């Protein structure tokens, strides 16, 4: 059981790292001379990368952008809180009650990053022919899968007697 707990702890840490990279890094949408994240845009001009604000208007609706930003940050917060709660529950709660709150935090992180990536997919870069989704966008979806799997594992571990 100790190996299982160590494995789930490592999966949780990996999920946190992926969530933080997906939220912070500047690669949600890429072209040859531009990298866009949910916070700003980097353009390659005169041999250097320059930071600019995201465009405004109907092409980049601010209300949807704020929803993506908030959901991504909340996913990070819920997952980080979940790891602290996991350690606290491991030593304080009875065997039938362990990991329920941690599973809830991971499930909330899963929902938040799914909402962020879904809104970004549906509302941004719809009519752009040149460009591709960057590694941060892909990491957001991978972290969705990891947080979902870990939340299910926490709910299953709740029943274990170790």
Amino acid 60: pLDDT = 83
The CATH number of the domain holding residue 137 is 1.20.140.150
The number of residues making up the chain comes to 162
Domain presence at residue 134: yes
Amino acid 70: pLDDT = 97
10 Å CB burial of residue 77 (0-12, 13-18, 19+) is: middle
Residues of the chain with pLDDT under 70: 93-97, 159-162
Domain presence at residue 58: yes
Reported pTM: 0.89
Domain presence at residue 51: yes
Q: Which domain holds residue 62?
A: 2-157
Domain presence at residue 162: no
Tally of structural domains, the chain? 1
């Amino acid at each position: 059981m100790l190996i299982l707990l160590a494995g789930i702890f490592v999966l949780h840490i990996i999920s946190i790292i992926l969530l933080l990279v997906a939220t912070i890094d500047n690669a949600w949408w890429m072209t040859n001379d531009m990298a866009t994240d949910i916070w700003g845009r980097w353009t390659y001009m005169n041999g250097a990368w320059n930071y600019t604000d995201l465009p405004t208007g109907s092409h980049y609706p601010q209300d949807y952008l704020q929803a993506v930003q908030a959901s991504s940050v909340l996913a990070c917060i819920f997952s980080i809180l979940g790891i602290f709660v996991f350690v606290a529950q491991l030593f304080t709660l009875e065997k039938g009650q362990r990991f329920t709150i941690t599973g809830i935090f991971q499930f909330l992180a899963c929902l938040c990053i799914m909402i962020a990536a879904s809104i970004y997919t549906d509302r941004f870069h719809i009519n752009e022919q040149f460009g591709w989704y960057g590694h941060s966008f892909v990491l957001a979806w991978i972290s969705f899968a990891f947080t979902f799997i870990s939340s299910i594992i926490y709910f299953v571990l709740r029943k274990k007697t170790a």
